[in-house]
Amino acid sequence: MATEKGYFAAGCFWGVEATFRRIDGVLDAVSGYAGGTTQNPTYEQVCSGTTGHTETVEVTYDPAKVSYDDLLSAFFDLHDPTQVDRQGPDIGTQYRSAIFTTSPAQAAAAEAAKARLDASGQFPRPIATQIAAAGPFWRAEEYHQRYEEKRAISGRGLRGWL
């Protein structure tokens, strides 16, 4: 089976990870950090806002079962993509909305999805989601992995906070 990866940042990674795990065809979702300059950053460093990283989820999926477009739809549905450097109660650049792409095809699909959503009029403000080529992804500390599962938190989705 051929697998692919997608990288999505939509605020605190706990709910994002849990949401992607529930999608048929997603084989794994891992909380971590992307988009910054510090090598192997810690949670405390990322939260300081000085590393440039955002809390990101690495999604490993089977493209025969779920398309990248479907993952993009889930991503845009689970948060408010018009928010700049925040989601719900979480404020700071580490909570920005971003898609980190691994190929020209992913970049084109992400840009097209963002443009469609912007043109749809679904949101009163422009879509603020950043789209950039994926750089290094740093796995977050173990206590962040499957956080909602470990603590039996119900997956209310991030929009429930808005």
Q: Is the pLDDT confidence value at 162 over 70?
A: no
Tens digit of each residue's pLDDT (9 = 90 or more) over 73-100: 999 999 999 999 999 888 999 999 999 9
CATH number at residue 140: 3.30.1060.10
Tens-digit pLDDT profile for residues 118-139: 999 999 999 999 999 999 999 9
pLDDT at 149: 65
Alpha-carbon dihedral angle through residues 16, 22, 23, 26, given to the nearest 10 degrees: 80
Of 114 and 155, more confident: 114
CA distance 145 to 135: 21
- Rounded to two decimals, what is the model's pTM? 0.90
Give the domain range for residue 106: 4-161
Opening angle at CA 111, ends 93 and 13, nearest 5: 35
Q: Domain tally for the chain?
A: 1
Q: Which residues are catalytic?
A: 12
Is the pLDDT at 157 greater than 60? The verdict is no
Paired tokens of 56? 């990101």
